[in-house]
A and B are shown apart, each in its own frame.
Chain A
Amino acid sequence: MSDSANIDTYRRRFLGGTATALAGLSVAPGVFLHEVARARPADEAVTSDVRWGMLIDTNKCANGCNDCVTACNEEHGLTGHGRPETDAQWIRKVELRDKQTGHTQSLPLLCQHCEHPPCVDVCPTGASFKRADGIVLVDKHICIGCRYCMMACPYKARSFIHEDLQDQLPHAPRGKGTVESCTFCVHRVDNDRTPACVEACTAENHNAMVFGDINDPDSDISKQLKQHSSRQIRADLDLNTGVRYRGI
C-alpha cells in the first residue's frame, strides 16, 4: 500500500519535473533568442536607447584602496615612465578633507562621460566624440594633439601622451602626441562585460562601483539611483554626467 503510494508520488514528481523541464526547454530558446535578438551585432551602430553610467558610493570606497586604478592600468597597459607629471592616468583616487569639519573621504575620479561634454564641444577636428550610448572617446586617428579638450575638461580626466609607448594592447590603442582618457572599457562593454575598475572593486567585495544602463529602469544602477540621492561633480555646469556619486 505504502509502496504503491510512494510510486504514485514518484510518478507524479517525475511527470511534474518532466513537464517543467519540457516547458523550460521549449520557452528557454525563445527567451534566449529574444536576448540574442536584443544584443547588438558587431556591425551594428550603438543606439541612444542605452546610456552607460556609473554610480560610485564613496562610503564604500576604502581609504588607501587602489584596486580600481591598478585594474585600469593593467587593462589598458598604462605602464608609465616613472614620471607622474606626464604619465597618463585614466582613473585616480582623490582624497578629500572638509576644511571646516575635518571629515575625510576617498573616491575614484575618471572621465565623467558627460551628456554635454565640453571636450567634444571644443575639439577642432571632431576627434573627441560621444557615442550614442553616452561613452565619450577620442578618435586617435584624427586627434592632432592640440590639447584643447584637456583645457576644457572640468574633471582633469584626460592625459596627453608625452613620449613613445611600447607593448600596447590590441584593444587599447594609444599614440604619442594624442590625448586619451577613460573609455568606460568600451571593448568590454560592447561584449556585455563591466569595466575593469568595477570588476576589481566588486572582486574585493567593496562594491563601491556599479555600472549599467541608466536608461533601463530595471537595471541595478537605475534602481539604486532612484532609491538613493546621488550627485554629479560640478553639477553647476549642467553637463549631466554619466558618473554619479553617493556620499559626497
Chain B
Amino acid sequence: MKQQIQFREIDGGMRFYSLLGFIGLFVLAGLGAAYFMEHNGHHVTGMTNQIIWGTPHVFAVFLIVAASGALNVASISSVFGKTPYKPLARLSGLLAIALLVGGLAVLVLDLGRPDRLIVAMTYYNFKSIFAWNIILYIGFIAIVAVYIWMMMERRMNHFTKLAGLFAFIWRLILTTGTGSIFGFLVAREAYDAALMAPMFIIMSFSFGLAIFILVLMAACKWSDRPLGNLIVYRLKNLLGVFIASVLYFVMVYHLTNLYITEHHGVERFILLDGGVYTNLFWFVQILLGSLVPLALLYHPATGKSRGWIGIASLLVIIGGLAQMYIIIIGGQAYPLELFPGMEVTSSFFDGGINAYVPSLPEVVLGVGGIAIALAAVVIGTRVLGFLPVSLADDQVDPHHAA
C-alpha cells in the first residue's frame, strides 16, 4: 500500500519565537543599513562611479540564483518522478520563494530611488533583460505559490506534475535572465559571454541545493523530526555532482578567455595578479568552495557525517558568494578597454584597476537579505505544513531495508 506522507506545521513556543527574534534582529539591521544608505546617498558605501554594483549586488544575485536552484528538489520529485524527494518538495518551493524575496529585497533597497519601485513595475523597456527579469521574478513567486498549492491541496494533486513542469521551465528561463544581466554586457571584458546564462543555471543548482541541505538539517533538528540518512546521502551526492559541474563551467569560461588575446588582460587580473580577486578565486572559490567540499562529500568517512556534510554545504555557499564577488566586483575592478595598446590615465580613474572595499552598511544589508529569506522559511513552516513529520528512511522509501 502506498504510504501517505504526513506534513505538519512546526511548533510555536519559545524556541520558535527566539529563533524568529534572532533572525529578526538581522532583518532590522539590514533595513537600518538601507535607510542609512538612502538617507546619506551611496557615497557612504564602498560603491563609486567605478565600482557601480557592490556587495549588496553580490548577496542579491547570489540569493536570486540560489532561489531558482532551491526549487530543484521539488522539480526532481514532480517533473522527474523521483519519489524519495517527494516529502521535500513543499519545503523546496517555500525556500525558493523565500530566497528570491530576500534577494529582491536587497536589490530594491540598494536602488538609488527605492521609492520609485512602482515606476519599475509600470514602465517597461522590453529590450532590457532587467525589465524581463522583473516579470520573471514576480512570475516565479506566483507560479511556485500555485505549485505549492497543487501539492498541498489533495484535490489538486493531479495537477502537481503539470505545475511542477511549468515552474521548472520558468526557473530555467529565470536563471538564464539573471546570467544574461552579465552576458549581455558588451562593454566589459569579464562579461559579454553567452556562457554566463548556463553557468548561472548550474551555479543555481549548486548554491540552491547547499542552502536546502542546511535548511533541511536545521529544520529537522530544531523541530525534533527524524531525518534519515537515505535522503541526506542522496542530496549530498547530488551536491557533489553540481559542484563539479560548476567547476567545469568555470574552467571552460577561463580557457576560452585565455585563448583569446584581447581577454588576456582580464584573465591575468583574475587568475594571477588581481590581489584580493585572485586570492578569492583560487583559495575561496576553487579550493575552499569547490575542491574541499567535493572531498568532504565523497570521502568515505566525512561523506557519512552529518556535521561534515553541513560544513561542506556551508563551504559551497561561501565559495558561491566569493564567485559572485569575483564576477560582479572583479569584473568592474578591471578597467574598460577603450584604447587597446595604450596606457590610459584620467581624473575619472580610466585605465587603472578600480579600488573597492565593502562598507559595513552594504554587508549588513546583504546579510539582512539572507535573514529575510530565513525568516520567511521559519514563518512559512510555522503556519503551513511544509515540513514532513518524519523523514526517516522507511518514510522516504517504503522499500528501504533498514
> What residues make up the interface of A, taking CB atoms closer than 8 Å to B?
69, 81, 83-89, 92-100, 109, 118, 120-127, 142-148, 150-156, 158-164, 175-179, 233-234, 237, 248
Contact = CB atoms under 8 A, between A and B. Distances in A.
Given A92-B348, A179-B112, A233-B338, A154 B186 contact: yes
Interface stretch (B19-27, B41-49, B281-289): B41-49
B49 A154 contact: no
B111 A86 contact: no
A145 B113 contact: yes
A161 B41 CA distance: 8
Interface string B175-217: 0000001001111100000000000000000000000000000
18 contacts: A92-B346, A95-B345, A97-B343, A98-B341, A99-B342, A100-B341, A109-B338, A120-B125, A125-B120, A125-B124, A143-B116, A145-B113, A150-B52, A154-B186, A161-B41, A175-B113, A177-B113, A237-B186
B111 A145 contact: yes
Contacts of B188: 151
Contacts of B124: 124-126
Interface string B266-292: 000000000000000000000000000
Nearest to A148: B130
User: Which size class do B's interface residues fall under?
Assistant: 35 or more
B117 interface: yes
A158 B336 CA distance: 13
A125 B346 contact: no
A86 B48 contact: yes
A28 to B, nearest CB: 48
A138 to B, nearest CB: 11
Contacts of B113: 143-145, 175, 177-178
B111 A93 contact: no
Q: Main SS of chain A's interface residues?
A: loop
B63 to A, nearest CB: 17
B397 interface: no
A15 B341 CA distance: 68
B311 to A, nearest CB: 35
A161 B43 CA distance: 9
A97 B343 CA distance: 5
Contacts of B134: 124
A118 B187 contact: yes
Contacts of B123: 124-127, 142
A239 to B, nearest CB: 9
A144 B42 CA distance: 14
B155 interface: no
B238 interface: no
Contacts of B350: 92, 94, 109, 156
B131 interface: yes
B29 interface: no
A89 B348 contact: yes
Contacts of A161: 41, 112
